[in-house]
Amino acid sequence: MSRKQDRTVYLREDGVWVNQLNAPPWSFSLHPTRDEALRVAKENFMKHGGGDITLLAPDGTVEYQMTLLPEEG
């Protein structure tokens, strides 16, 4: 059984967008745009069992949350 892949996408102070796994090993990827970070987060979900994504606005507030289910196989 795949482990849930909850992720948070947020903007760092240096202007780089982060796609971060919310559980150990706390892996992340860095992206120049919000759209790119979200695209990669969604791809991660579809490959690894689905999960919840939280997008934080630049001020740190929750902009939206969604649940993605894995692709049928």
pLDDT at 19: 96
Q: What range defines the domain where residue 45 resides?
A: 7-68
Count of structural domains within the chain = 1
pLDDT at 33: 97
DSSP H/E element including 41 = helix 34-47
pLDDT at 73: 42
- Answer yes or no: is 2 within a domain: no
> Per DSSP, what are the bridge partners of residue 52?
67
- Answer yes or no: is 31 within a domain: yes
Given a cut of 50, is residue 1 above it in pLDDT?
A: no
- Answer yes or no: is 58 within a domain: yes
CA 59 vs CA 6, 17, 46, 49, 69: distances in Å: 21, 13, 28, 30, 28
Residue 37's CB is within 10 A of a number of other CB atoms, namely 25
pLDDT at 51: 86
Given a cut of 80, is residue 70 above it in pLDDT?
A: no
Q: How many angstroms separate the first and last alpha carbons of the chain?
A: 13
State pLDDT tens for residues 10-67: 999 999 999 999 988 888 999 999 999 999 998 888 787 788 999 999 999 999 999 8
